[in-house]
């Protein structure tokens, strides 16, 4: 990026069967792109419900000439869909300086996108920058995290005061940041990425269907010398889990277990992945012991522990490459 020209931005907006909400987010994104050189690439992730046609026709009717609507030929998940938007690029073939990911259920407040760009221009070794996310009621949404570890698996499963205090530096969810600061990883609901970084480390690993793909990308960036920051001044309202339905899960889908196991195996090795699972089992046994005495209750999807263990054992028995998502 030359110091004499403004940065170019490619905004990626992914749709899967939420056309009406995607169009609402797109309208806000169009507003946020005013005064910024670049385009918005909307990718329909093979919705098969008329979403692509509805978004395409609305964009044409509204005269949004800086919006490109792209139909993916398959639903490869969050990372794959955003990779389609990035590969499609700018219409004139030039390379953007930054790529901005916006969820279809996320709505930036005025200036939120510009704030992320300005922060990254001012800090050349920042590879990724995430916004302060809040709900419709203004309540903080957890989007700033530490990398998951064996210790965090144990702490998260046990949910016990003394253990949490002992392992407080390993708890994945950070306390709500009170100022902009470096973090291990941020969620992808509103995420700015430097193109130079992507050219160096690659885009999203498409073996993750959903979940852990941002964690993996931020870890790869960290290992290559790039930092990730949480930018408090960039504020975005997020409804959350509209496409995935995570809030209403009765039972955790197989692709979540695939992604978790692939993250540990890819980045730390099979032995570490096994220890992480055993650590979660050990913590869960502590939690169950407390439940016997009625002292602790934590809501998890039905059969979560059994599904976690059986998934890990099945993958070990099959000895297949992990990361192939169960669609």
Name the H helices within the chain: 19-32, 51-62, 78-88, 112-122, 150-158, 161-166, 195-201, 213-223, 254-268, 270-292, 304-318
Beta bridge partners, 145, equal 173, 185
Q: How many domains does the chain have?
A: 2
Look at residues 83, 44, 323 and name the one whose alpha carbon lies nearest to residue 198. 83
pLDDT in tens, 264-288: 999 999 999 999 999 999 999 998 8
CA distance linking residue 207 with residue 5, whole number of Å: 37
Q: Are 219 and 199 in contact (CB under 8 A)?
A: no
147 located within any domain? no
Q: Which tokens in the block code for residue 95?
A: 């390379």
CA geometry: angle 321, 325, 327, nearest 5 deg: 150
Residue where a domain terminates, one of 205, 224, 241: 241
- Let me know whether 13 and 131 are in one domain: yes
106 located within any domain? yes
| Contact residues for 290 (Cβ-Cβ < 8 A; gap 6+) | 160, 296
| Contact residues for 258 (Cβ-Cβ < 8 A; gap 6+) | 209, 311, 322, 323, 324, 325, 326
pLDDT tier, 326 (very low <50, low <70, confident <90, very high otherwise): very low
pLDDT in tens, 109-119: 999 999 999 99
- Let me know whether 199 and 313 are in one domain: no
pLDDT in tens, 215-226: 999 999 999 999
pLDDT in tens, 234-268: 999 999 755 455 555 688 999 999 999 999 999 99
| Contact residues for 150 (Cβ-Cβ < 8 A; gap 6+) | 272, 275, 276, 279
For residue 137, is pLDDT > 70?
A: yes
- Let me know whether 234 and 259 are in one domain: no
- Let me know whether 60 and 122 are in one domain: yes
Host domain of residue 254: 248-318
State the DSSP H helix or E strand holding residue 131, giving kind and residue range, or none if neither: strand 126-134
311 located within any domain? yes
Q: Are 11 and 39 in contact (CB under 8 A)?
A: yes
Q: Are 311 and 257 in contact (CB under 8 A)?
A: yes
The enclosing domain of 34 has a CATH number of 3.90.550.10
């Amino acid at each position: 990026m030359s110091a004499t020209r403004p940065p170019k931005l490619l905004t990626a907006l992914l749709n899967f069967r939420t056309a009406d909400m995607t169009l609402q987010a797109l309208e806000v994104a169009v507003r946020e792109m005013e005064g910024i050189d670049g385009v918005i690439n909307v990718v329909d992730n093979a919705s098969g419900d008329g979403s692509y046609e509805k978004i395409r026709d609305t964009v044409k009717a509204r005269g949004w000439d800086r919006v490109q609507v792209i139909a993916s030929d398959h639903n490869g998940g969050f990372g794959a869909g955003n990779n389609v938007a990035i590969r499609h690029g700018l219409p004139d073939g030039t390379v953007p300086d930054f790529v901005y990911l916006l969820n279809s259920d996320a709505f930036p407040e005025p200036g939120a996108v510009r704030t992320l760009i300005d922060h990254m221009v001012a800090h050349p070794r920042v590879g990724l920058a995430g916004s302060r996310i809040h709900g419709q009621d203004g309540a903080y949404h957890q989007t700033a995290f530490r990398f998951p570890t064996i210790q965090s698996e144990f702490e998260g499963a046990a949910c016990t005061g003394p253990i949490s205090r002992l392992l407080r530096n390993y708890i994945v969810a950070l306390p709500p940041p009170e100022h902009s600061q470096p973090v291990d990883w941020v969620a992808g609901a509103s995420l700015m990425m430097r193109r130079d970084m992507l050219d160096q480390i690659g885009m999203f690993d498409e073996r993750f269907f959903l979940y852990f793909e941002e964690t993996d990308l931020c870890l790869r960036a960290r290992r290559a010398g790039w930092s990730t920051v949480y930018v408090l001044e960039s504020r975005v309202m997020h409804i959350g889990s509209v496409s995935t339905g995570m809030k209403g899960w009765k039972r955790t889908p197989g692709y979540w277990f695939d992604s978790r196991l692939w993250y540990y195996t890819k980045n730390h090795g099979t032995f570490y992945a096994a220890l992480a699972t055993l650590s979660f089992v050990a913590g869960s046994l502590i939690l169950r012991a407390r439940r016997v005495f009625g002292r602790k209750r934590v809501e998890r999807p039905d059969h979560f522990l059994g599904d976690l263990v059986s998934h890990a054992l099945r993958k070990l028995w099959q000895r297949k490459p992990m990361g192939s998502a169960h669609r």
